[in-house]
């Protein structure tokens, strides 16, 4: 097919000419001397510019890969040995398309926002607390892989090992849209490192994700509705124990919502972080009240035990991670636990946008 007759797939997907026109108009706004006089408006314009620039860059990147592949196919037709090059370029092309499809699948008014994540172990003491800490590490590693900034705002150490709870922020574009896939109960099956008889144990932990709410969204929090407690931050002991009352706990009396932060040594910083968490949870609380039908957010708040999990992580007697909603199974468990969960997130986005067909019950997984 000649270049004149070949369809311009990239431009069709990203509409690059239109986005370049939009970018030019934004650049004209930014060059206005009065542009920075309205900080909130200017910040939104700068975010829009960044999104347009990334979309245009993606179009150029896909077009370049497409051109490289066409050249390699032409060389192959001429008898050149380019099999290794083709395999490498096809893998890169597939990776780029998967990333772009993930972005395009995101939906909802809060999908582009940063996120606040909470993790709680289920019943089972040290086993579940250790599993909760493994999940915390998995998500922090995932964020690190993507270059997202993270901040652990509250962490309550477990007795002996693991954590009793953790709350952390993940700051970046589309974080909430992607991490919605993780809301629910996660089940681990393994030979327990805490069992002297090396028996197989099943542990549970729940994950919940809230969108971070911008300051320009009006969440009215009256001072008289807040109960504020300050206390000494807990830690592993010794030098890690804060000797001043820098930790902060907010209780919103009308709703009963409780948030706390003890990560910072400064009480002022802990207050600011706790207020951010409270705004996010109040926003979600109000959104839930307005929903006419119960959606996935409510259905995910299940008991942290058998029958309620969204995903199984099996380390014994075989090794497999299986999402019970999408049916996607990944054999490299270590890679997943090290933060490579993009395939699981992508599969969930496809499943969520295309009808949400019921997944397996998980009955094929081993019990204790």
Q: What is the pLDDT, as a whole number, of residue 307?
A: 57
Q: Give the tokens for residue 322.
A: 């299986």
Q: Which CATH number fits domain 114-362: 3.40.1000.10, 3.40.190.10, 3.90.1150.10, 3.30.70.1660?
A: 3.30.70.1660
Condensed to tens digits (0 to 9), the pLDDT of residues 162-220 reads 999 999 999 998 999 999 999 999 999 999 998 888 889 999 999 999 998 765 566 77
Count of beta carbons in the 10 Å neighbourhood of residue 125: 16
pLDDT value of position 288: 75
CATH architecture assignment, domain 9-105 = Up-down Bundle (1.20)
What does 162-212 look like in DSSP terms, one character per residue?
A: SEEEEEEEEESTTHHHHHGGG-EEEEEEEE-TT-TT--EEEEEEEEEEEEP
What percent of the chain has a predicted confidence (pLDDT) above 70?
83
Q: Which region holds residue 283: left if phi is over 0, alpha if psi is between -120 and 50, else beta?
A: alpha
Average pLDDT, the chain: 82
Q: Record the tokens describing residue 144, joined without a space.
A: 């690190």
List, by residue range, all CATH 3.30.70.1660 domains of the chain: 114-362
Give Cβ neighbours of residue 290 (< 8 Å, ≥ 6 apart): none
Tens digit of each residue's pLDDT (9 = 90 or more) over 67-84: 888 888 888 888 888 888
Q: With beta carbons less than 8 A apart as the criterion, state whether 255 and 222 touch.
A: no
Comparing CA positions, the residue from 210, 134, 203 lying closest to residue 168 is 210
Residue 62 banded pLDDT, cuts 50, 70, 90: confident
pLDDT the model gives residue 112: 85
Helices 16-30 and 39-77: crossing angle, nearest 10°? 150
Q: Give the span between the Cα atoms of 280 and 210, in whole angstroms.
A: 6
3-state secondary structure of 101: helix
Q: What is the location of CATH 1.20.58.410 in the chain?
A: 9-105
Backbone angles phi, psi at 40, to 5 degrees: -65, -45
- Amino acid 231: pLDDT: 87
What is the C-alpha separation between 363 and 305, in angstroms, rounded?
Answer: 14
């Amino acid at each position: 097919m000649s270049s004149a007759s070949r369809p311009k797939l990239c431009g069709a997907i990203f509409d690059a000419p239109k986005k370049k026109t939009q970018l030019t108009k934004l650049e004209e706004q930014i060059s206005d001397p009065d542009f920075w006089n309205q900080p909130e408006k200017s910040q939104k314009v700068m975010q829009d510019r960044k999104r347009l620039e990334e979309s245009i860059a993606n179009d150029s990147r896909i077009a370049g890969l497409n051109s490289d592949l066409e050249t390699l196919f032409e060389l192959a037709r001429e008898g050149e040995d380019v099999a290794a090059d083709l395999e490498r370029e096809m893998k890169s092309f597939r990776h780029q398309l998967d990333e772009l499809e993930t972005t395009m699948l995101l939906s909802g008014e809060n999908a582009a926002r940063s996120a606040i994540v909470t993790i709680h172990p289920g019943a089972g003491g040290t086993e579940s607390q250790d599993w909760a800490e493994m999940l915390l590490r998995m998500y922090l590693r995932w964020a690190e892989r993507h270059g997202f900034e993270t901040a652990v705002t509250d962490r309550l150490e477990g007795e002996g090992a693991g954590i009793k709870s953790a709350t952390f922020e993940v700051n970046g574009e589309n974080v909430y849209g992607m991490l919605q896939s993780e809301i629910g109960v996660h089940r681990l099956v393994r030979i327990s490192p805490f069992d002297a008889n090396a028996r197989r144990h099943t542990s549970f932990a729940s994950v919940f994700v809230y969108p971070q709410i911008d300051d320009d969204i009006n969440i009215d929090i009256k001072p008289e509705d807040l109960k504020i407690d300050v206390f000494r931050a807990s830690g592993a002991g010794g030098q890690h124990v804060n000797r001043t009352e820098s930790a902060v706990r907010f209780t919103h009396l009308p709703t009963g919502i409780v948030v706390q932060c003890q990560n910072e040594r400064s009480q002022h910083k802990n207050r600011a972080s706790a207020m951010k968490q409270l705004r996010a949870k109040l926003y979600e609380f109000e959104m839930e009240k307005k929903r006419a039908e119960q959606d996935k957010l409510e259905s995910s708040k299940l008991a942290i035990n058998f029958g309620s999990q969204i995903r199984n992580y099996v380390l014994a007697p075989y090794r497999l991670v299986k999402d019970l909603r999408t049916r996607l199974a990944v054999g490299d468990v270590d890679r997943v636990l090290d933060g490579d969960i993009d395939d699981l997130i992508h599969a969930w986005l496809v499943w969520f946008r295309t009808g949400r067909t019921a997944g397996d019950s998980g009955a094929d997984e081993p019990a204790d």
